[in-house]
Amino acid sequence: MDDGRILATYRVASYLPLDHAAAVLAGEQSSGTFTKVALESDDLMRVHGARVESIEKNETPIDPLPGAVSAGAGAPPSVATVAVSFPVVNLGPSIAALLATVAGNLYELRELAAVKLLDVEIPDALAARYTGPLHGVGGTRRLIGNPSQTMIGTIVKPSIGLTLDQLEALVRELAEAQIDFIKDDELNSDPPHAPLTDRIRVVMRTIRDVADRTGKQTMYAFNVTGDMDDMKRAADLIAVEGGTCVMAAIPSVGFSAFAELRRHTDLALHGHRAGFGAFDRSPSLGIGFRAFQRLARVAGADHLHVGGINSKFWEPNDAIVDGVRAIQEDRSVGAPMLPVLSSAQTAATAASTYELLPTPDLLVLAGGGIHAHPGGVAAGVQSMREAWHAVASGHDPRMIATPGSALDVALDAFGS
């Protein structure tokens, strides 16, 4: 749909008839208030009113939200997937205005016992205002020297507390092991013991030094999550120092700040999703990943975290697979975004991940899977590389691992 309307899809539950509940949602988010007002003409409603496009009832039970008005009979609420369209002309258009429309006061409606934004189509008028991802999958590959395989990365661990000297030694070892990508932990922004500006200088000097000798361009995503001006200044310094990537936690900074960072810099933008669980983990409330990834893409994320297969987090594997598919299928604006798998990834998880996601267009991050390798981080990197090379070639890593090799040790250490 883009006949001048924005289509948003919700999971809705209500104790009231579903068509009534959906109409309340549409009214609240367009021209309505709780009572008919003076200037609310039929013409105005026709041009600016939201419209319920479809209601598909389903039988999945859900936990109802508090405060929902009940018909009193004691029956559970009805559940449905409801599509609502909003006139594009109601909006700015901006991501923030879109959010206020499709994810605003509607969460508060007493007529609804569940309301979760599952997906939202980005209208052309909105997409035209943003570049979207500048680098995406292909651009990221080019920036790290065109590896043909799955891209392998890590998170600096421990998350916080490393001195600049420790960080330098760690980055050197990782870069010399020819890792594709390193990122700060999302908790590590600009602490006094390792200020971001110092971190940028030390890390980039190290990466340049290794690259001069080996030719390998490791991408380092500096976590700039913070205030707007500080993020911009950090991005500028990263560019000056020859860096290629900047990272921010999108839920922490918000979409407007993230989009502004995109406008300000042409570095690759690594979109962390720390805090997204607050939106997504309840089936009854919030914003689902398909909607989130669309907004992240429009805001300009080149990379987006999507969880991990068999991770330490709550999401089942089919949700992760669906998230990666959502990213892969979306061609709305800019370059194809690169899905980032993270959390409890090791050489031992490559096979199960590749089985569900048989594509090289992934960035797989192993934190403990590299830093806790018994042979050290270089062996950790090697084990990940070998495991992913094996699975992409159709082999079971356990079958081809040379006894005593980095891969073999990793499979022993991390395999279940």
Q: Which of residues 314-373 bind a copy of itself (CB under 8 A)?
A: 314-316, 343-344, 367-368, 371-372
Q: Give the SS3 label for residue 94.
A: coil
For 94, phi then psi, to 5°, come to: -150, 165
Amino acid at site 373: H
Of 109 and 326, nearer to a copy of itself (C-beta) is 109
Q: Does 21 bind a copy of itself (CB under 8 A)?
A: no
**Residue 30 three-state SS:** coil
Least distance from C-beta 95 to a copy of itself, angstroms?
Answer: 7
Q: Applying CB under 8 A, does 39 fall inside the site for a copy of itself? A: yes
Nearest distance, CB of residue 44 and a copy of itself, angstroms: 4
Measured from the CB of residue 54, what is the shortest distance to a copy of itself in angstroms? 22
| In the complex, least distance from residue 356 CB atom to a copy of itself, rounded to whole angstroms | 17
30 near a copy of itself, judged by CB under 8 A:
yes
Q: By rule CB under 8 A, what count of residues binds a copy of itself?
A: 106
Nearest to 203 by CA among 228, 179, 182, 224: 182
123, 226, 288, 336: which one binds a copy of itself (CB under 8 A): 226
Burial class (CB in 10 A: 0-12, 13-18, 19+), 212: exposed
By CB under 8 A, residue 233 contacts a copy of itself: no
- In terms of C-beta density within 10 A (0-12 exposed, 13-18 middle, 19 or more buried), how is residue 256 classed? middle
Q: How many CA atoms lie within 13 A of 274 on its CB side?
A: 15
258 binds a copy of itself (CB under 8 A): yes
Binding pattern for the stretch 135-174 against a copy of itself, x by CB under 8 A and - elsewhere = --------------------x-xxxxxx---x---x----
Binding region for a copy of itself (CB under 8 A) out of 13-21, 96-104, 200-208, 388-396:
96-104
Q: What is the distance between the alpha carbons of residues 200 and 247, in angstroms, rounded to a whole number? A: 12
**Is the Cα torsion angle 261, 262, 266, 268 positive or negative in sign?**
positive
